[in-house]
C-alpha cells in the first residue's frame, strides 16, 4: 500500500513515521510531478493552512489534487490544517482550497498556540482516542451526507464523507495508531470496490 503525504510545510514527518510503523509505503509529495505516480491514499498534515494553500496554487498542484480526490476518489486524510484544506467552506475571510468534504470549518477555533490542549474522546468505530489540538479548527456545519465521527465539548472534531476523512486534532502526535489504521481500512475497502 502506497500513501503520499503532502510535504510542503507542517508536520508531515510524524505521519510518515506512523504509516511506516503500520507497514505502509509512505512517501513525500513536494512537487506536482509527485502526484502523477501510483498512490492508494493521501494525507494532508497539520501546519499553516494559508501557507499550504498558497504553495499548492503556486506549484500548480490544486487542480491535480482536486481531480485525484473528487474525480478519482483517492482516499484522503486531512488533519488540522489538512481539514481546512479539504473543507468546502471556511468561516470568515478566505476562500476554500480543495472543497472535498461538505463541511464549514472555523480556523483557530480553539485559540492560538497557548490554547493548545490534549484530551481523550470517543471516535466512532474506534473508541476513546487521545487527541492533541494545536491552534485547531472545528467543524461549524456539516451537510447531511457527512458522518460526524468525534466531538469534543459538543463540537465536531472528526468527520467522514465518502473517501475524505478529517480531524481537527493531530493523531500523528500520539503513540495511538488507530486513526491511521482507520484510514488504511478506508483505503483497503476502496481497493476492493470495482
pLDDT at 112: 67
Q: In the Cβ-directed half-sphere of 140, how many Cα atoms lie within 13 Å?
A: 14
CA distances in angstroms from 86 to 20, 47, 159, listed in the order given: 24, 14, 11
Q: Reduce the secondary structure of 52-79 to three states and give it as a string.
A: HHHHHHHCCCHHHHHHHHHHCCCCEEEE
- pTM assigned to the model: 0.95
* Catalytic annotation present for 80: yes
> Which parts of the chain have pLDDT scores under 50?
none
* Catalytic annotation present for 145: no
Q: Which one from 80, 140, 145, 147 is the annotated catalytic residue?
A: 80
CA distances in angstroms from 158 to 29, 56, 128, 148, listed in the order given: 24, 24, 13, 6
* Catalytic annotation present for 172: yes
CA atoms of 32 and 47, how far apart (whole Å): 19
pLDDT at 190: 83
What would the grid cell of residue 179 be?
A: 486513526
pLDDT at 194: 56
Q: Which one from 162, 170, 180, 188 is the annotated catalytic residue?
A: 170
Q: Which one from 140, 172, 180, 188 is the annotated catalytic residue?
A: 172
3-state secondary structure of 143: coil
User: What is the Cα gyration radius of the chain?
Assistant: 15
CA atoms of 170 and 165, how far apart (whole Å): 13
In this structure, which CATH number among 3.50.50.60, 1.10.167.10, 3.40.50.880, 3.90.180.10 belongs to the domain 2-192? 3.40.50.880
Q: Is 33 exposed, middle or buried (0-12, 13-18, 19+ CB in 10 A)?
A: exposed
Q: What secondary structure letter does DSSP report for 168?
A: S
Residue boundaries of the structural domains of the chain: 2-192
- DSSP letters along 77-99, please? EEETHHHHHHEEEESSSS--SS-
Q: Is 9 exposed, middle or buried (0-12, 13-18, 19+ CB in 10 A)?
A: middle
pLDDT 10s digits, 62-88:
999 999 998 779 999 999 999 999 999
Amino acid at each position: 500500500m502506497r500513501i503520499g503525504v503532502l510535504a510542503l510545510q507542517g508536520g508531515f514527518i510524524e505521519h510518515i513515521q506512523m504509516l511506516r510503523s503500520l507497514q505502509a509505503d509512505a512517501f513525500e509529495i513536494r512537487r506536482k510531478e509527485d502526484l502523477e505516480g501510483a498512490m492508494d491514499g493521501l494525507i494532508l498534515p497539520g501546519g499553516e493552512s494559508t501557507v499550504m494553500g498558497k504553495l499548492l496554487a503556486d506549484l500548480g498542484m490544486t487542480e491535480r489534487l482536486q481531480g485525484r480526490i473528487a474525480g478519482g476518489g483517492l482516499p484522503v486524510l486531512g488533519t488540522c490544517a489538512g481539514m481546512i484544506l479539504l473543507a468546502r467552506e471556511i468561516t470568515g475571510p478566505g476562500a476554500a482550497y480543495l472543497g472535498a468534504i461538505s463541511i464549514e470549518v472555523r480556523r483557530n477555533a480553539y485559540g492560538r498556540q497557548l490554547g493548545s490542549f490534549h484530551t481523550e474522546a470517543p471516535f466512532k468505530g474506534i473508541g476513546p482516542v487521545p487527541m492533541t489540538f494545536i491552534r485547531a479548527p472545528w467543524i461549524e456545519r456539516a451537510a447531511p451526507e457527512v458522518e460526524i465521527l468525534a466531538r469534543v465539548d459538543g463540537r465536531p472534531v472528526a468527520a467522514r464523507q465518502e473517501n475524505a476523512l478529517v480531524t481537527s486534532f493531530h493523531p500523528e502526535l500520539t503513540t495511538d495508531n488507530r486513526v491511521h489504521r482507520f484510514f488504511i481500512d478506508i483505503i483497503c475497502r476502496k481497493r476492493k470496490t470495482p
